[in-house]
Amino acid sequence: MPEQRVGTQEDWQAERDALLKEEKELTRRGDELTKKRQELPWVQVEKEYEFETVDGTKSLAELFDGRSQLLIYHFMFGPPYDAGCVACSSITDTLAPNVPHLAAKDAKLMLVSRAPLERLQAYRERMGWDIDWASAGGTDFNLDIGFTSTEEQLKPFLEGEIPPVVEQMAKASGTDPKGYVTEVPGLSAYTRKDGTVYRTYVTSARGLEPAMAYYFLLDRTAKGRDEKPGEPHWLRRHDEY
Amino acid sequence: MPEHKTATLEEFEAAREELLAEEKEHTRRTDELAEKRRALPWVPLEKQYELETVDGTRSLADLFDVRSQLLVYHFMFGPSYEAGCPTCSSMADGMNGVLPHLHARDLTLLLVSRAPIEKLQAFKERMGWSIPWASSADSDFNFDFGASFEVEQTREQMPPEDQLPPIAAHNAKATGTDLPEYISEMFGATTFALQDGTVYRTYTTTGRGVEFLMPYYPILDRAPKGRDEGDAFQTWIRRHDDYA
């Protein structure tokens, strides 16, 4: 535990009230950004994609499951992976319990990966998640949106020094760094109007932190996230701690 | 869906790139505030709190389990409630999923409510959660941390029902109690640290400050319709087994 200044309840309250003003300002700024996201133009998805699901082959429009909004988490689980990416698995620990609440707000949330459907299903069962998962292995869906990298895109990265955390994560998924980073984590949002599907939003990297609930709990603790550069990543699959 | 402007992929990407710069700024500001929270002074607790658990009476220090940090979520489940608050329940759904990750970072999570432990335990089983839950029925804990108020006082001082947000009457009904009893409980999160046998309070939040425990909101914030709830906020939320 870090050394810490100790104060009276009154000291704490005064400083906490000052911080609350800044927290409220940040909350309002978050609302503004949401408004700006909603103002982004929609882009028609012109290509026809086919996904493998437990209920057979489906088009992107069919994945909406009767709702008018679709949120896809691009879960890193490529064809050479033995098991899903550790970080994506921790994200799914947040996503899965929120599926029924999002469904009540006209939003279907699901996972898409490139590994074959059978492997995704087996892993989903191991992890005990109640969230739909489709395989985009037979389509260019992930590639077109930039969540699968081409050899050419990966070349400079693979020719450089591979960060130890990438080695660690690749190993945990039973693949090598190249196989691992061919997949990219991301979130994409869609809507449907008059039979046409539009993409409305895309994010990746730290833009995915809203789906990592544990970070925001840790942000309210004394030690915080407590991640030091160069250290192996602390995340494990929930059944591997 | 309402009418909306459409664009080519290039136009979308240009607009998205511009927004990304603002989103990154927001993320960095989030980091700054986390740092400021950690800089708050710690307050040593003067009282010894004893809470009821399924394993018997435990002190707050005991409830850290084997870890040095504790986050208490003040779950609205008062003595007269028949079931837990639906909004708090939706939050527990998300917390329950990430428990192992929090434990790996030296943080214990605990729900605390004023209803008797048997009632809490039965509801926890119904919802299928594994988060520990303690009852503060015989303790000042909830009152001292602003998570409960005396019902008589609430009855005297509460504003007329039409001045409260619609969620208050809605959730009073959903928990099988009346409005004053419902709002005599308060939601919130308090974090504690344990060092050399002393328990310190490090942080408390309530109001929209608990949205960090509602991941469906930031996810909806990335969907085309957003939260889409207006003044009737949260009235769409049900316990996960109560959705039709």
* Most A-contacting residue of B37, B204, B222, B225 (CB-CB within 10 A), to test interface: B222
Find the mean pLDDT for residues A89-103. 98
Same domain, B86 and B14: no
Q: Which domain holds residue B33?
A: 8-39
Q: How far apart are CA A125 and CA A172, in angstroms?
A: 18
- In terms of domains, do B31 and B109 share one? no
Tell me, yes or no, whether B209 lies in a domain: yes
- C-alpha B181/C-alpha B167 separation (Å) is 14
User: Which pLDDT tens digit goes with each residue over A141-181?
Assistant: 999 999 999 999 999 999 999 999 999 999 999 999 999 99
Neighbours of A234 (CB within 10 A): 12
Residue B191 and residue A189: Cβ atoms within 8 Å? Answer: no
Rounded (10°) angle between helices A86-104 and A117-127: 80
Query: What confidence tens digit (pLDDT) does each residue in B138-181 have?
Result: 999 999 999 999 999 999 999 999 999 999 999 999 999 999 99
Tell whether B117 is covered by a domain. yes
C-beta atoms of B219 and A7 within 8 A:
no
CB A120 within 8 A of CB A113: yes
Q: What angle do CA A181, A136, A205 make, to 5 degrees?
A: 40
Judgement on whether residues B88 and B154 belong to the same structural domain of the protein = yes
What is the band of A115 on the pLDDT scale with cuts at 50, 70, 90? very high
Q: What percent of chain B has pLDDT over 70?
A: 100
Q: How confident is the model at residue A229 (pLDDT cuts 50, 70, 90)?
A: confident
Residues B19 and B131 in one domain: no
ipTM of the complex: 0.96
Establish if B71 belongs to a structural domain: yes
In a domain, B207, yes or no: yes
SS3 state at B224 = coil
Topology (CATH level 3) of domain A43-218: Glutaredoxin (3.40.30)
Encoded tokens for A163: 């960060």
Average pLDDT in the B52-57 region?
98
Distance CA A98, CA B217 (A): 10
- Give the integer Cα–Cα distance in Å for B83 and B88: 11
- The mean pLDDT value for A209-218 works out to 97
Number of domains in chain B: 2
pTM: 0.97
CATH at residue B214: 3.40.30.10
Q: Do residue B34 and residue B119 come from a single domain? A: no
CB-based contact B23 A203, cutoff 8 Å: yes
- Judge whether B96 is closer than 8 Å to chain A, CB to CB: yes
Q: Which of A22, A102, A238 sits opposite B216 (nearest CB)?
A: A102
Min mean pLDDT across A192-196, B22-26, B213-217 is at A192-196
In a domain, B163, yes or no: yes
Backbone angles phi, psi at A190, to 5 degrees: -135, 155
B107 vs A: CB within 8 A: yes
Q: What band does A230 get if pLDDT is binned at 50, 70 and 90?
A: confident
The mean pLDDT value for A174-200 works out to: 97
Which amino acid, B118? Answer: E
